[in-house]
Structure 1
Amino acid sequence: MMTRSPRTPLLLATALAALMPALVLSGPARAASTTYHVDNRSGSGCTDSGPGSAQRPWCTFAPVNARTYAAGDRILLARGAAWKEGMKLRGSGTAAAPVEVSAYGSGARPRILKGASDYGVSLYNPSHWAVRNLEIDGRGAKKLTYGVVASYKGPEGIGHEGLTFSDLYVHHTHMGVRVGGDAVPATDQWAVKGVRMRGITGKHNGVSIAFGDSKGRKHFIQDTVLTDLDLNNDDGAPAPLPEECPNALTLQSMTRVTVMDSVVSHAGGCPVRTGTTGIYLGHVADVDLTNNIVAFTQQTGSPDQSGVNYEGWTDDVAVRGSLLTGNVRWGVGLQGIHADGPNTRVTVESNAIVDNGRPPVASLGDDSRTDGVIRGNLWKGDSLTDTVSGGSFDKIAVSGNAGPTGEGRVWYAARDFATGQGLNQWRYQHSPDGGATWKDLTYQNGDGSWRPSAGALPVLSKWRWHPVGGKGLVARTWTAPRDGTVAIRGQAAKADLGGDGVRVQIRHGDRQVLTPHGLSGGNRVGIGTSVDALPVKAGDTLRFIVDPGAAGDTAHDTTSWAPVVGYL
């Protein structure tokens, strides 16, 4: 077995450094809180010499790029329109009034296509910007280097806050979304704080989302939350460059990060001599990967080919409540190949790590030793752990793991989420009377959720639960397909911070097998929901329940929980 060739500490930060856009600060400043419209479609009446109003929109991005923006400004692109040019944006908003790039009208997202620029949307030292509702298609004779890039450069690249990217579809680029730069913040400073990404779909990129500076400073990017990502088939198509496809999600130069309710699949789709993985972690601290699916890292003959890779220089990084499956080799790789960069305080707990090509967790290399815990996981394989090239688990506490699971599938609630009751053994139910009676919910095509009726509480979606008030309970109910002994794992965590919290419990028929556990309003890390060695008969039900807590208050009660059941 071949161990990963040591990556340079900032492989992705340096590999494309020369391609980072060299932006200038020229251009007229103007008054704040103006909305500009851009629509190049036939019949729009567009003119670049006009005001950019809805009645007389701009045609191209030339007038967009000529301005410096201020608090409350909006740049709106017409739905159904497409441009072969890049947007180069400057200026800053405020926390109360960010600058926004988004869409208007009806129809498909506005599309930014490969033109003369190396980027689709480029922001220079941005504070309080939001980029939403766009498609960026990087295909061309020389595809886009970046779909969306935020660059923090020079002395002015220090101390920025507030960056939001949401509802974007970015594909066929070298890097889909990139946040980085060469600014040099002191240890008590940062380049950008408060990054939010939600609803990003990345497909056929080299890397779909990448963070990092040029020196691996853990404090460079702070307080980042990534949710509802769908990163798949990152293979650099068409015609990938050498070394282009190391992973789908690169987390570098970061402190305090949450990745939740996301799917990373079929990453690493081209040969990379230093190795491939789904999620890459290096030079990071205080990271929680909670309730995600990381699956099917591809077979390209590269080293690693794991689901999640701890490269090195990590501290207090946890993988919890996730499904790690179908990867060519390990679910989790703990690298010990950097003498000056061990992985410290690793946590791998409450996951389902099954059906990978090698044992669930590997320790690779003997230049440094990883310390931490591997506990409470549900696993399948010949053994739970694997050592390669002198790797060791001597400093890792391994306890409470259930396995190996038997032949066949495990039932992971988020992966199995369906539009019909009873599919994949799951039903979606609620009780208005504290569990005395249970009723099926109705699937809502409009938002892809289960509810009593459109817009009503309680609600169940792929990852999330929200109870109704009073004695109302909401539940996913699993029905045993055969006799046997099962183990249950999962991690319940708050998806919406605030409020007085919720309670979670598990019932086998009418019997509690996990008594109600309180989950406080600010607990995004969450609590484990484990049950060991539970005998079941065919037709028995396991009901996974969320209620609004003793006070019955439902404010901010949206909860992430993807329980998993497997036969031992």
Structure 2
Amino acid sequence: MSFSLLRRATCVASTTLLLAAGLAVGEAAAAPAGPVPADAVLTGTHYVDDAPGSGCLDTGPGTSPSAPWCGFAPLNGRTLGPGAQILLRRGDTFTGELGKLYGSGTRAAPIVLGAYGSGARPHITGTGQATDRAVWIQDASYWTVRDLELSDVGAGLVFWYSTNGHTGLTVSDVATHDVRGVFAGAPAQADLPGMYHSAGILITGDVPVTPSDTAVSGVTLTRLEGYDNDDDVDISGFDANSGGQQGFLSTALGHHSVADVSLTESWFHHSLSGENFDNLQDMTITGVRLDDTGHGGNAWGTTALFFWSASTVTVADSILNGQVSTGSPDQSETDLEAYDDHIAFRGDFFGNSAGWPIEILENGAYTDNYQSSHEISDNLFSGYGSAVAVHDGSASSPNGTSGTARDNLFAAPGSSFTDGLGGWTYSTANAGYLDADAHYIGTKGATATFTFTGTTASWVGGKNSDHGKADVVVCDGDGNGCGAVTTVDTYAPSALPQQVLYTASDLPDTTHTLKITVRSDTSGTGHYTDVDGFISGTASRTTEVDDTDPSIAYSTSWSLTGNTPVAAGTAYNAAYDFSANQGGSQWREQSYTPGRGWRDLPSYDAAQESWGGQGHVSRFALVPDGCAACSVARTWVAPSSGTVTIRGRVLKEAAGGSGVTARITRDGARIWPPTAAGGSLDGADTAGRATDVTLRVTAGDTIRFEVAGRGRSDAALDATAWAPTVAYQ
């Protein structure tokens, strides 16, 4: 798929248009019937063409391309029935809003808003006012919107819901640009109270808050482009002004405003505020490219991809790149904030950001919020301005974060993978503290244990206005046989470092464990507890240890394994490096046919941004052809000898087709998967599997990431997302 594909002209022969209108070649169009009654449900196909010489007539039925409607007046406020189609002529520009449109299709007969003819997509434009809308569709089920360009409005394509229980939206091949006018909630919009930023595509509404109902489910967004917008795609603003943060982030809806969302093969670039997904569940984002999104300064913070109260989301084989410095908080590529669970980043490229590539925040304003069960795996983090790839911003929250981070590569000079996902945060340059360092956390249930031998022990830490309470108990050396629990309040109106917060004495002279457990209550503004060190021994002799001493164990809520630093400039990501030049950044796009072997795909389609034809390789996907013994591949050629680490995720981009077989080879020999059958993906396998290998290579070695189809006619439906990274250690 090409991002420039969204601008391509699709040619349709005039004969086809005549047949679509029910006319034989050479047959003149019948005289138009009378207008469709204003209160009638629109069915059938209606054409709109305002070009000179079109023969358009708004008082006619608009059912023929030779006698179309001139504009949107015959449509606005109308109800459409199942199977209805509204087709705008390619090459035309329409000024003004199409809408409100009402009605629902069925699974077998969706309502279609699209294009006909040849040339550029029909363009709906406004006058650049915040109150302008391009298209407004009300309470839609089973609608398909495709092949449109929308610009110069305060909101582009709006799906507004006032009731729950809808299903079936598809938006494809739609470009939005210069959708602006509302930023950070100003100026407020009476018709869209939950629109925080102007959005190219906006799914929103005001629906009853129930325990489980969703406004709409089954949403497919594919082959979209957005640029120079405030936001490109937003699913947000339901239950606006409900007391949620900034007046549009609901704390009442939970995860069920929208469900079952797929966003694929899309490009969003140079947008002021990125993409915003709130109060939703079951979303997949695959093969999406974010470049320089979120570059507008905002006192609340900037990010390219924002989640609030989202559950079960996967971002796979995508690019999040170029979050610039705006002087704002955050400046992250993605921000997970408040009430999120089961969000996974798999096989993505994060690069060139001013702040953290991934930021995980609990909001201290809501004591019940959480970040739980996330996954960060097989990604490449490169060229970020922060000291860490993944920032844990939950330290002031009572609940903390949890999840798994494994097999990631990070390549930024002087950086670490994370600053807190392991649990307690280690902090330096703390004036007044022993060795100027300390461990701290604000997560309920977090523990620190100190093992010592002697008759006495003291906990040394700090007090402050944002510190809370902790329970302390002394147990035997195995952590059993515990005594009475003492609650310690570490609040003080101002900072007091190196305080003796707790002392146990008159203990048997043997081995003990002192355990600190953080509570969720506080006398101040936060829940922090810190450890500066411990003093232990006997009445005649004591020893003080710093907070980094191995006798202290800090609890963790994340599993961190295999996260590996790699040398800057020696990591190669197939999606980020993809180009129109064979061999660029060591990558080639190739195909295999029996008798000919592996060869470079000979042609590059700039419109499709793809190498090949029926079987092809694009920035994010590999699509096999119908030949049972044929394959396509991304091929990396080693520029030097050394040890390389391969990380990635292979999966079906969307359900469909007969399935594929994936494998990695070096000079023709399989190196992944361990068994030949292990690389098989069925037609519905949109979860896929990790493709992780570490091996020695010699300069000139060829590493191929191969995808083979099953030799069936539906091979075109087997687009396989795979954007691997190869990095020298």
TM-score bracket, shorter-length normalisation:
0.7 to 0.9
Other-structure match for 1:317: 343
Amino acid across the alignment from 1:42: P
Secondary structure, aligned partner of 2:671 = strand
Greater shift after overlay, 406-415 or 373-382? Answer: 406-415
Q: Following the alignment from structure 1 to structure 2, what is the Cα–Cα distance between the partners of residues 511 and 104?
A: 49
Q: 1:81 pairs with 92, 108, 111, which one?
A: 92
Q: Is contact 1:29–1:69 with CA below 8 Å preserved after alignment?
A: no
Q: Does 1:386 align with 2:395?
A: no
Q: Is contact 1:481–1:539 with CA below 8 Å preserved after alignment?
A: yes
Q: 2:693 pairs with 528, 531, 547, which one?
A: 531
Change (3 A) 1:128 1:552: closer
Q: Does 1:147 align with 2:156?
A: yes
TM score, norm. by length of structure 2: 0.68
CA shift, 1:223, in A, is 0.7
Other-structure match for 1:470: 628
Q: Following the alignment from structure 2 to structure 1, what is the Cα–Cα distance between the partners of residues 132 and 370?
A: 36
Structure 1 stretches lacking a partner, 5+ long: 1-26, 139-143, 236-244
Secondary structure, aligned partner of 1:447 = coil
Secondary structure, aligned partner of 2:55 = coil
Q: 2:558 pairs with 396, 399, 402, which one?
A: 396
Q: Is contact 1:325–1:354 with CA below 8 Å preserved after alignment?
A: yes
Q: 1:127 pairs with 141, 164, 174, which one?
A: 141
Q: Is contact 2:623–2:716 with CA below 8 Å preserved after alignment?
A: no
CA shift, 1:118, in A, is 2.3
Q: Is contact 1:505–1:545 with CA below 8 Å preserved after alignment?
A: yes
Q: Does 1:430 align with 2:458?
A: no
- CA displacement 1:295-333 (0-9 Å, x = unmatched): 111211111111111112111110111101111111111
Secondary structure, aligned partner of 2:68 = coil
Other-structure match for 2:119: 107
Greater Cα radius of gyration, structure 1 or 2? 2
Amino acid across the alignment from 2:136: S
CA shift, 1:170, in A, is 0.8
Other-structure match for 1:182: 206
Secondary structure, aligned partner of 2:576 = helix
CA shift, 1:556, in A, is 4.1
Q: Following the alignment from structure 1 to structure 2, what is the Cα–Cα distance between the partners of residues 431 and 307?
A: 37
Amino acid across the alignment from 1:353: F
Other-structure match for 1:38: 48
Q: Is contact 1:420–1:443 with CA below 8 Å preserved after alignment?
A: no
Q: Following the alignment from structure 2 to structure 1, what is the Cα–Cα distance between the partners of residues 608 and 177?
A: 24
Secondary structure, aligned partner of 1:384 = strand
Structure 2 stretches lacking a partner, 5+ long: 1-36, 180-197, 240-249, 428-439, 444-554
What aligned pairs does 1:200-215 form with structure 2 within 5 A after superposition? 200-212=224-236, 213-214=238-239, 215=250
What aligned pairs does 1:323-402 form with structure 2 within 5 A after superposition? 323-338=349-364, 339-358=367-386, 359-366=388-395, 367=397, 368-381=399-412, 382-387=415-420, 394-402=556-564
Q: Is contact 2:394–2:401 with CA below 8 Å preserved after alignment?
A: no
Q: Following the alignment from structure 1 to structure 2, what is the Cα–Cα distance between the partners of residues 488 and 287?
A: 24
Amino acid across the alignment from 2:103: G
Other-structure match for 1:68: 79
Q: Is contact 2:43–2:85 with CA below 8 Å preserved after alignment?
A: yes
TM score, norm. by length of structure 1: 0.86
Greater shift after overlay, 467-476 or 72-81? Answer: 467-476
Q: Does 1:479 align with 2:648?
A: no
Q: Is contact 2:42–2:78 with CA below 8 Å preserved after alignment?
A: no
Q: Following the alignment from structure 2 to structure 1, what is the Cα–Cα distance between the partners of residues 575 and 289?
A: 10
CA shift, 1:444, in A, is 4.3
- CA displacement 1:344-392 (0-9 Å, x = unmatched): 1010001111111112111013213110000011111321112489668
Q: 1:273 pairs with 278, 299, 321, which one?
A: 299
Secondary structure, aligned partner of 1:222 = strand
Q: Does 1:56 align with 2:67?
A: yes
Q: Following the alignment from structure 2 to structure 1, what is the Cα–Cα distance between the partners of residues 369 and 682?
A: 35
Amino acid across the alignment from 1:536: V
Change (3 A) 1:557 1:59: closer
Other-structure match for 2:603: 443
Other-structure match for 1:219: 256
Other-structure match for 2:173: 167
Q: 2:618 pairs with 447, 461, 478, which one?
A: 461
Q: Following the alignment from structure 1 to structure 2, what is the Cα–Cα distance between the partners of residues 360 and 549?
A: 39
- CA displacement 1:195-231 (0-9 Å, x = unmatched): 1111111111111111022234311211110111211
- CA displacement 1:54-74 (0-9 Å, x = unmatched): 122222211110421011111
- CA displacement 1:372-425 (0-9 Å, x = unmatched): 0000111113211124896689211110122x2113152111122222321221
Change (3 A) 1:518 1:228: same
Amino acid across the alignment from 1:410: A
Change (3 A) 1:276 1:409: farther
Other-structure match for 2:110: 98
Change (3 A) 1:375 1:197: same
Q: Does 1:413 align with 2:574?
A: yes
Q: Following the alignment from structure 1 to structure 2, what is the Cα–Cα distance between the partners of residues 127 and 549?
A: 35
CA shift, 1:80, in A, is 1.7
Q: Is contact 2:42–2:79 with CA below 8 Å preserved after alignment?
A: no
Q: Following the alignment from structure 1 to structure 2, what is the Cα–Cα distance between the partners of residues 270 and 466?
A: 37
Change (3 A) 1:551 1:233: closer
Q: Following the alignment from structure 1 to structure 2, what is the Cα–Cα distance between the partners of residues 409 and 57?
A: 58
Amino acid across the alignment from 2:724: P
Greater shift after overlay, 268-277 or 442-451? Answer: 442-451
Q: Following the alignment from structure 2 to structure 1, what is the Cα–Cα distance between the partners of residues 80 and 619?
A: 38
Q: Is contact 2:165–2:214 with CA below 8 Å preserved after alignment?
A: yes
Q: Is contact 1:419–1:443 with CA below 8 Å preserved after alignment?
A: no
Q: Is contact 2:624–2:716 with CA below 8 Å preserved after alignment?
A: no
Amino acid across the alignment from 1:527: R
Q: Following the alignment from structure 1 to structure 2, what is the Cα–Cα distance between the partners of residues 554 and 111?
A: 33
Q: Following the alignment from structure 2 to structure 1, what is the Cα–Cα distance between the partners of residues 658 and 68?
A: 47
Secondary structure, aligned partner of 2:575 = helix
CA shift, 1:513, in A, is 2.1
CA RMSD of aligned residues (A): 2.3
Other-structure match for 1:505: 663
CA shift, 1:500, in A, is 4.7
Q: Following the alignment from structure 1 to structure 2, what is the Cα–Cα distance between the partners of residues 183 and 110?
A: 32
Q: 1:259 pairs with 285, 308, 315, which one?
A: 285
CA shift, 1:553, in A, is 8.8
Q: Is contact 1:471–1:552 with CA below 8 Å preserved after alignment?
A: no
Q: Following the alignment from structure 1 to structure 2, what is the Cα–Cα distance between the partners of residues 548 and 36?
A: 40
Q: Following the alignment from structure 1 to structure 2, what is the Cα–Cα distance between the partners of residues 553 and 159?
A: 33
Other-structure match for 1:118: 132
Q: Is contact 1:158–1:185 with CA below 8 Å preserved after alignment?
A: no
CA shift, 1:552, in A, is 11
Greater shift after overlay, 408-417 or 306-315? Answer: 408-417
CA shift, 1:98, in A, is 1.1
